Amino acid sequence: MHTHGHHAAHTHGHGHGMRSTPLLLALGLTLGYAAVEAVAGWWAGSLALLGDAGHMLTDSFALALAAFAAWLAARPSGPRLTYGLGRVESLAALANSVLMLVVVVAICWYAVGRLLAPQPVAGGTVTVVALIGLAVNLLAAWLLSRGGSDLNTRAALLHVMGDLLGSVAALASGIVIQWTGWMPIDPLLSMLICGLILASTLGLLRQVFNTLLDGAPESLSVQEVGHSMARVEGVTSIHDLHIWSLGASRIALSAHVVVTDAAQWPPVLVALQAHLAGHFGIDHCTLQPELPRSEPIVFRRTLERGNSRAPAPAPEAHPQGPKDSD
């Protein structure tokens, strides 16, 4: 028996279209300011400005890639790509995360060179340009924060947040140099920001790989979902439970549902469907009904509906009889 939330499927493409708009707006802001910052950084001799300009240029590519991925993900499924192109956004998030790591390594490399051979920096110019960049990056971050919580948008937001921190570092170094003349502050702050960005990027990479490897979303507990399904009226136990992400906010589930009476399956199915959609936001389900047999049980209905402890495994399985199919 296969159930699918048709309403979610129809609104999916519209949601992707809405998410691509903030990405394109942030792209325009980032590209425009990257050119201004590169010229000012070269003239002032500031590594913080030049590094931030290079970072923003790569972020422009990252935002363009994210917008393109959101557009692709909105395309309907086909005879071969039956789930559609939702995973393209995860692939774009992976590419952007790797690109971020390359930028971090490059900035750190140049920062070490500047520490070993300090060069004069025009603190006043750095301060003015960094203030403008701070405003631009704040606006871009605000736009992306309203664009969704999927991995693709979060990876793009991570790039913009890196730019925002870079502007803060450039502003701080400009003020320090202007007042004290201490040049090492420029590369030191650049390396500090790189460390913060690196930590965020590695965390995002872990989530991207979890999605690409069909891992259960971190927002859900497989144990909790299984035990709650087993407590639905008419369900004896649940086994072969799988939960994975189809991309963006779409979550899929498949499971074998053991029921006491096959004739009661239709109302049990409706109850499970409503329970999964209402409590966990899962509306793409594949549920296979089965009658009780000696196969090991994973999630079993308990006498106490509030009891969510995992049951002990059933006795060793005996040869199975004919299996109900959907």
Cα separation, 226 vs 315, in Å, equals 20
Using CA of residue 151, residue 152, residue 153, residue 158, what is the dihedral sign?
positive
Cα separation, 235 vs 217, in Å, equals 24
Closest by Cα among 149, 94, 84 to 281: 149
Which residues touch 35 (CB under 8 Å, ≥6 apart)?
none
In this prediction the pTM is 0.66
- 216-326: which CATH number, 3.30.2270.10, 3.30.70.1350, 3.40.50.720, 1.10.730.10? 3.30.70.1350
Closest by Cα among 217, 233, 239, 213 to 298: 239
Closest by Cα among 131, 59, 154 to 100: 59
Q: Report which secondary-structure segment, H or E, holds 300.
A: strand 299-300
Domain borders along the chain are 7-212, 216-326
The whole-angstrom distance between residue 312's C-alpha and the CA centroid of its chain comes to 35
Which amino acid type is present at position 191? M
CATH number of 7-212: 1.20.1510.10
Quote the DSSP letter at residue 263: G
Q: What is the pLDDT along the chain (326 residues), one digit of tens a residue?
A: 444 444 444 444 444 455 567 788 888 888 888 888 788 778 877 666 676 677 677 778 888 888 888 787 777 777 877 777 778 888 888 888 898 888 889 888 888 888 888 777 777 777 887 788 888 889 888 888 876 666 777 788 887 887 788 778 878 888 888 888 888 888 888 888 888 788 888 888 888 898 888 888 888 899 999 999 999 999 999 999 999 987 666 889 999 999 988 888 999 999 999 999 999 989 889 999 998 875 555 666 654 444 444 444 444 444 444 444 44
